[in-house]
Structure formats: C-alpha cells, structure tokens
Amino acid sequence: MDFERIKPRLDALVKSGKKAELRGALNMLNEVDIADYLETLDNEQVLMVFRLLPKDVSADVFSYMDNDQRTRVMEALGDAEAMRIIDDMFIDDAVDFLEELPAGVVKRMLSNADPKRRDLINQFLHYPENSAGRIMTIEYMEFHTGTTVGQAMMEIRRTAPDKETINTLYIIDDRRELLGTVALRKLLLAPDDRRVEDLMNNQIISVHTTDDQELVADTVRKYDLLSIPVVDHENRLVGIVTVDDIVDVIEEENTEDFEKMAAMLPSDDEYLKTGVFKLARNRLPWLLILMVSATFTGMIITNFENVLTNAAEIGVALVACIPMLMDTGGNCGSQASTLAIRGLALGEIELKDIGRILWKEFRVALICGSVLAVANFFRVWFLTPYDQNVAFVVSLAMFFTVIIAKAIGCTLPLLAKAIHLDPALMASPIITTLVDAASLTILFTVATNFFHIALG
C-alpha cells in the first residue's frame, strides 16, 4: 500500500520537525493510516503531528485510534482541547471512547462539553453494555410527514457533511414514531413537490435500544442493510446503527465465541496489549474447573485398578491406548459441537431441530466410528507391540466412543441454548472432560468382558 512507501519520509519529517511539509504529507494519507502511524511515535511526536491535522480530520483520526492511544493523546492535550475533539466526533465514536474511561474522568471531560451534548452522551452511556443504545449514533437524516422532496433535498444539502449516512432517510410522525424509510436514490428521482411519505417504504426493520448488539448484527446481516434504525420502548426513533460498526460487532462476537470455546473468559482487549496477569486471570477459572472435574476420570481408572495390576501385560497395552482413545473422542465431540455452536450463532439451526441433528450425528458417527475402528485395528496390530485381541478390544471401544462423543458434542450446545446459556461455553473442553469419562468406562468395560478379568 501507499502508506508503507510514505512512512520513511514521514519519519524524517517528524524528526526534523518540518511542520509545513509534514502537514502536506499527512494530507495525502487516509485517517486510518494516520492513526496507525501515530502508534509508532512517542508522546511528544504524537502531539505535534496531531495538532497539525485539520480539525475534522483529527476527530476522525482520534476515533480510529485504540483506547491506549486515545488516553495518551487526551492526557497530553488537556481537558479543554480534548473535549473539543470529542465534540467533533460522531456520538457513537465518542461513547465508544468514553465508556472505557473511569467514571470520574468522564465526568470531568463532559464538564467541558455543551450541556445538550453532555446530556445525550450521558444518556447513551446509561444503556446496557453491548446494547443497541450503546453503539447507535444520532447523525442521521429524519423528516416529518408532510415534508416535500424539495425541502428534504435542501435540508440534506445543508447538513449532509455532519451526518454519518444520508443513504437512508427516516420518516417520523409528530410523536417521533418511526413510520418508514426513504432511500436517497428514490428522493433523487422524485419531483420536488412530492411528499416524502409517498415515497416511503413502510416495511420497517428496526431494533430496540436495549437489544443486544448481537441481535442488531444478525438483523443487519440478514436483511443486507447499510444502517438500521433504533427505537425506544414507545417506538420513537432515537438513533441508527451503521454497518461499519456492525462489521466490528461481528468480529467482536466471533472473537468472544473463539475464546469461550477455548475455555477462556471473553475479553475485548487486543492480545499484545493485555497484561500478563489479566491474561492469566481470564484463563485460570476454566482450567481449574476442568482440572478438578478430571478427578472423575481418575476415579474411573482407580476403579478398574485390577485390570491394570492383575493383567499386567494387557493392562499396559490398554493404558498405552488411553491417550489415543481420549483424543479421538474429544476430536469427534468438538467437531459435532463446533457445527452446532456455529449453526446456532448463524441462525441456521434451532432448538426444535434437536431430533434431526441427533439422527444426523448418529449416522455420521456410524460411518466415522466404523472407519476409525477398522483403521485402528490395523494400526494397533502393525504399529504397536500388541496382538489382535488388544486391537479388537480397543477398536470396539473406539467405535462406541465415537458414537457417544458425537451425541454429547451436538446435544450440549443445544441444551445450553435451551436454558439460556451461551452455547459456545459448552465447547471442546467441557465435552472432552465428559467424553474422557465415557471413553475410559467403555474401554475398561469392553476389556473386562472380553478378557474375562475379574474386578475388585
């Protein structure tokens, strides 16, 4: 990209402090690239570059920085100058920044703001975390019924530069209730004296201020929207959410699912910017829970102690196969659970499909289990020192393990959904723990029966 080529020149200009030339060079850069570039500079340089930017550009650049950077710039600028930048940001970006700051700092910052804007920001900050109200913005175009196309176009020309989007215009009644939308292209084609409500699409697709951002994202994705109106409990239009923020929400929600599925507490922070203690704190709870629950697997082995001690040769052979059996079971289980979790997240499967899913997984398990069992029989026979009897016992145990693992794997996420837990929590680690217990029980049961080893 252009940016990599320009960077050395920027560095030289920053070092030499040639402000006029630097301003010219910055002018050729996209706001996102400027924000990236500022990350590479020290505090003093950041301030110098930041102050060279035109006012509207600096607010944009600020909204593309990450929170550490923003706090750094904010502190260096001082409250008054900082607030002027926040005033120039779109409301959603301002809220996104302020919600990460300590309450005291927010209060101090907002004391410098215009009272009307302060009230608005405070109101937005009071919506639940990750709700539509938190990510919406107010920079949209709305028109009351009765407005003519000519009047609307004049208003758009007057205020367009301050709006986040003008593609969709929102039509409201006297009570601010949302009646419908008009696409800008429809307005462009209509005669000046037409009324906006005559052009209106009244199939309203909207969300509520308290709806979770995941629902907002799902709706935007389903209907291919560029923005979605947000209404309050009385159906009054209070904001919109734009698709660029939805793209971020989607990646955020996916990251959360990845983290939960790997037995971590979800976190919004970038990996390299998260402290070691915080990372450890996010990882330990599930590690501890899963470790303690593994006591159960140990108990199963202790129970079958006699298989190991009375039949030493066979015992070692069985023990040697435990890791393979457990891992294969775990893998089979997490394959099924991943598809179930993903299907639920994308709305492709629902709770009521549980019967169909179990039946499908059962047939898949029959195929996978048979193939694996046969392959395992030859693996044990040819690649290990053990005989066909051991190979047969382990393969039979494998077959049943696969079937149980697939059943557990696909059922658990659906059960979680049924009791309103996040399906992603029921992923591989929990399934592995359950499948371990199942596979060991199966192995020892098959072995004791086949080799007629007495228990206890």
3-state secondary structure at position 267: coil
Provide the minimum distance between the beta carbon of 138 and a second copy in the complex, in angstroms, as a whole number. 17
**371 is an interface residue for a second copy by CB under 8 A:** yes
The single residue among 360, 381, 389, 448 that binds a second copy, judged by CB under 8 A, is 360
Provide the minimum distance between the beta carbon of 246 and a second copy in the complex, in angstroms, as a whole number. 7
Footprint (CB under 8 A) of a second copy, residues 41-60: none
Footprint (CB under 8 A) of a second copy, residues 278-337: 279-280, 283-284, 286-288, 290-292, 294-295, 297-299, 301-302, 305, 308-309, 312, 315-316, 319-324, 326-328, 330-332, 334-335, 337
The single residue among 272, 419, 420, 452 that binds a second copy, judged by CB under 8 A, is 272
Provide the minimum distance between the beta carbon of 104 and a second copy in the complex, in angstroms, as a whole number. 30
Provide the minimum distance between the beta carbon of 399 and a second copy in the complex, in angstroms, as a whole number. 13
Amino acid sitting at position 108? R
- Output the CA torsion sign for 235, 236, 238, 241: positive
Footprint (CB under 8 A) of a second copy, residues 61-90: none
Between 181 and 209, CB nearer to a second copy = 181
Footprint (CB under 8 A) of a second copy, residues 211-270: 220-226, 243-244, 246-248, 250-251, 254-255, 257-259, 261-264, 270
Provide the minimum distance between the beta carbon of 311 and a second copy in the complex, in angstroms, as a whole number. 11
Contacts of 174 (CB under 8 A, 6+ apart): 144
User: How would you list the strands of the sheet with 141-144, edge to edge?
Assistant: 141-144, 168-172, 178-183
Of 16-24, 83-91, 172-180, 425-433, which segment contacts a second copy by CB under 8 A?
A: 425-433
Provide the minimum distance between the beta carbon of 21 and a second copy in the complex, in angstroms, as a whole number. 18
Longest Cα–Cα distance in the chain: 96
Q: What number of other Cβ atoms are within 10 A of residue 170's Cβ? A: 21
Amino acid sitting at position 374? V
**25 is an interface residue for a second copy by CB under 8 A:** no
d(CA 324, CA 316): 14
Provide the minimum distance between the beta carbon of 175 and a second copy in the complex, in angstroms, as a whole number. 20
Of 27-35, 43-51, 102-110, 173-181, which segment contacts a second copy by CB under 8 A?
A: 27-35
Between 82 and 307, CB nearer to a second copy = 307
Between 15 and 271, CB nearer to a second copy = 271
Provide the minimum distance between the beta carbon of 199 and a second copy in the complex, in angstroms, as a whole number. 13
b/e per residue 284-300 (b: at least 16 CB within 10 A)? eebeeeeeeeeeebeeb
Q: What share of the chain is helix, strand, coil (3-state, %, to 5)?
A: 70, 10, 20
Burial environment of residue 282 by CB neighbours within 10 A (0 to 12, 13 to 18, 19 or more): middle
CB 442 within 8 A of CB 400: yes
Contacts of 363 (CB under 8 A, 6+ apart): none
Of 13-21, 97-105, 424-432, 443-451, which segment contacts a second copy by CB under 8 A?
A: 424-432
Q: What number of other Cβ atoms are within 10 A of residue 150's Cβ? A: 13
**129 is an interface residue for a second copy by CB under 8 A:** no
The single residue among 12, 215, 346, 418 that binds a second copy, judged by CB under 8 A, is 346
Footprint (CB under 8 A) of a second copy, residues 154-183: 156-157, 160-161, 163, 166-167
**388 is an interface residue for a second copy by CB under 8 A:** no
**What are the beta bridge partners of residue 237?**
231
d(CA 436, CA 328): 10
Of 39-47, 49-57, 96-104, 433-441, which segment contacts a second copy by CB under 8 A?
A: 433-441
The single residue among 372, 391, 412, 446 that binds a second copy, judged by CB under 8 A, is 372
Number of residues that bind a second copy (CB under 8 A): 116
Amino acid sitting at position 252? E
CB 192 within 8 A of CB 148: yes
d(CA 202, CA 181): 7
Structure tokens at 246: 């939805």
Q: What number of other Cβ atoms are within 10 A of residue 97's Cβ? A: 21
